[in-house]
């Protein structure tokens, strides 16, 4: 029986499926599908990474600042309710905080100071004083020593983000219920090992000081957005002002 035109066309179409050209088309299709899938995966990964960066560097700041503000209000409420001048701010060494750090050149307002430098403490958007490996000497005791503090450089409030703006001669003020402790920056170490605990010594010899005194040390991570090294600022007490009834700040903060 002779093949009809329709039969011939069908046979020719069927034959083309088994041709080399048909195989190449199928192979090209698989490659295109794989490339498309890989591209979508990269886009998704980029979006996830972007969201993580936003969370780490922005949202954690928002949450930490809110919590620090609440804790700061609680500390000031404690001060307002305390009537016995003999109790002093040292008696308020609680989880809420012991005072406020002011560093005008950082342009970050007041920073609540709490006990400890663990992640749980610093993630609340505060500065913490060291209890380990070398215990900080609180200025409220009146004794010689080093008031050593740490805070985050980025994320979770980033209270020491602008530490690189601090220069020699700048003021550092620690506010308690009854007194303003005014320090003057005298030395800066812009990079040191995270394991260098000598910077926390009661007499910080790495800063050039060899005698006991009333020192303050600020530490944080460096470079910014990493925790590879530590940035250190040293200050020395120049005077102590008594808090008046209006809590008038010292001239360094006006």
Of the candidates 102, 156, 214, 221, the residue annotated as catalytic is 221
pLDDT for 128-182, tens place per residue?
999 999 999 999 999 999 999 999 999 999 999 999 999 999 999 999 999 999 9
The CA-CA-CA angle for residues 202, 108, 168, to 5°, reads 50
Asked whether the whole model's pTM tops 0.85, one would answer: no
Q: Which residue has the tokens 């200025």?
A: 139
Catalytic residue among 152, 156, 161, 214: 152
Rounded to whole angstroms, the Cα distance separating 10 from 15 reads: 8
214 is annotated as an active-site residue: no
58 pLDDT band, cuts 50/70/90, is: confident
Helix (H) or strand (E) holding 38: helix 20-54
From 11-20, 63-72, 178-187, the region with the lowest mean pLDDT: 11-20
Distance CA 86, CA 100 (A): 20
Let me know if 152 is a catalytic residue: yes
What does the pLDDT read at residue 31? 78
pLDDT higher for 61 or 4? 61
């Amino acid at each position: 029986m002779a093949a009809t035109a329709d039969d011939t066309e069908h046979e020719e179409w069927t034959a083309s499926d088994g041709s080399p050209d048909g195989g190449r088309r199928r192979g090209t299709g698989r490659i295109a599908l794989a490339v498309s899938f890989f591209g979508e995966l990269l886009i998704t990964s980029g979006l996830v990474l972007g969201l993580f960066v936003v969370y780490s560097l922005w949202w954690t700041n928002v949450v930490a600042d809110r919590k620090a503000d609440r804790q700061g209000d609680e500390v000031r409420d404690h001060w307002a309710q305390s009537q016995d001048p003999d109790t002093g701010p040292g008696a308020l060494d609680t989880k809420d905080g012991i005072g406020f750090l002011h560093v005008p050149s950082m342009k970050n307002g007041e920073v609540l100071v709490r006990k400890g430098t663990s992640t749980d403490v610093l993630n609340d958007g505060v500065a913490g004083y060291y209890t380990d490996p070398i215990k900080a000497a609180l200025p409220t005791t009146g004794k010689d020593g080093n008031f050593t503090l740490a805070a985050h450089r980025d994320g979770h409030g980033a209270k020491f983000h602008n530490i690189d703006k601090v220069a020699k001669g700048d003021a550092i003020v620690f506010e308690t219920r009854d007194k303003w402790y005014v320090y003057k920056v005298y030395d800066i170490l812009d990079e040191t090992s995270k394991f260098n605990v000598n910077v926390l010594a009661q007499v910080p010899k790495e800063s050039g000081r060899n005698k006991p005194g009333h020192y303050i040390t600020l530490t944080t991570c460096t470079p910014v957005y990493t925790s590879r090294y530590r940035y250190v600022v040293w200050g020395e007490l120049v005077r102590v002002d008594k808090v008046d009834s209006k809590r008038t700040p010292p001239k360094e903060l006006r």
